[in-house]
Amino acid sequence: MSREKELVKNTFILSLGRFLPKLSSLVTLPILTACLTKAEYGYYDLIATLVMLVIPIATMMIQTAAFRFLIDCRGDKNESSRIITNIFFVTIPISIVASVVIQFFFPSLSVWIRLLIAVYFFIDTIHLTLGQVTRGVGNNPAYSVGAILLSLTNMLLVVICVSWLEQGLQGVMIALAVANLLGSLYMAFRIHLTQYLNIRLFDRKLIKELLAYSWPMVPNNLSAWVLKLSDRLVITGFLGIEANATYAVANKLPNMLSIAQGVMAMAWQENASIASGDEDVKEYYSKMLDRVYHIMFGFTALLIAGTPILFRLLVRGDYDDAYDQMPILILAVFFSTMSSFFGGIYVAHKKTVNVGVTTMVAAAINLAIDFALVNVIGIWAGSVSTLAAYLFLYIYRMFNCQKFQPLDIKYLKHIICGLILIGMLLMCFLQMLVFNIINIVLGIAIFIVFNKDLFLKAYIKLLKRKSKSAK
């Protein structure tokens, strides 16, 4: 299989496991913004933000070791059992303790809702661990179907608990907990988890080995968390929970592009690492840089152009202030995607320290701008700081990467495309029909022109399949 086909395959498999659960959050957004109060929606977003922070710290990212170590022993049931048993020996007790502690972050909420938060945290941790184990043992279909089951269950329960039964924040937490539980049970059943678990296989030495692999990822993960989610905490602390609700709504549409970026980054890291020793590595990396840039430039232009329409379709309630933040955050995700591409090359050359340092510097820039401007420009500080941090990450990595991996980069094209996106962003702010139409025409034209070779390849493949079926 060619390197390009392998990348497409990996991206497709990972997209099913990561994209669909997030897609459900976009589908349920109109229900949540219509049925929850601003305070409830702010708490909901804050809970999700803190869960993403606490899980990596509490578990020391040991679930990431599951995937990497299980790959090396596929077909060896005894060794797989040792790894899986000891992964859960660490994950389960730590998750229980952390579930109790996380309740104290929300003293103003009722005891029942705090208990639901603890249950959700525990189940979510187990679900993440099971996802890595399922991929590690080579059962990607189970991983993907588990994600689909989680998504559909969550959407159905949000409709029932929040819209129909009017349970508010309590209903949201029930939906999340039950959906993650069903997804976890499905994966556990498909991989026959019980056959891998054996208390007699407890091994302190192996646990140390697993943690030695996983814990260095924690600082980088925390820096990435600061870069992506610290805005929410700063806005909540300075402007209140309702302002956070507005900013959270503004992030929903950009998050969909961010999820696609995360999937692409995971697949690209693996593909770039495999190709790092090839003789034509410079040509291959340069070709993939152009391809990724064209795809993301096209999607970013379409999303900015579609913001006026998508905002009215997806958002209900008093969230007008969120509109202006959306195109800024979409542009920030574009720069994040391109910085992740260069990050994949860092990983391929085992320059993981560079990845961590650049991410930490970007996180520091993000926080500094947040604190400096939040009392001056309000929630705009969150979107501006995010854009500035990712722009720095993109520019620095693009030039720094050349020191150890030469690339053919068309700098003038990058500058012109960036200016085009800024122009579209400004027209989006004006909220005038004529500029909205110009944006839509421009967005569609950009997407088609920059990706015409992909459309042509897809068309040729379709013709070949039709000719084969005709025979």
pLDDT-based confidence at residue 7 (cuts at 50, 70, 90): low
User: If you ran DSSP here, which 8-state letter would residue 432 be given?
Assistant: -
342-382 tens-digit pLDDT = 887 776 665 756 777 888 888 889 999 999 999 999 889 98
Could you give the CA distance from residue 401 to residue 394 in angstroms, rounded to a whole number? 11
Rounded-to-integer distance, Cα 339 and Cα 71, Å: 28
89-122 per-position pLDDT tens digit: 999 999 999 888 888 888 888 889 899 999 999 9
d(CA 233, CA 245): 11
- Cα gap 263→279, rounded to integer Å: 27
Indicate if the pLDDT at residue 134 is higher than 80: yes
The domain ranges of the chain are 10-214, 217-468
In sequence order, what DSSP letters do the residues of 307-321 get, joined into one string?
HHHHHHHH--SS-GG
User: Which residues are within 8 A (CB) of 194 and not within 5 positions of it... i.e. 6 or more apart?
Assistant: 188
Side chain identity at 2, as an amino acid letter?
S
pLDDT at 269 > cutoff 60: no
Query: Rounded distance, CA 45 to CA 380, Å?
Result: 18
CA gap 80, 76 in Å, rounded: 6
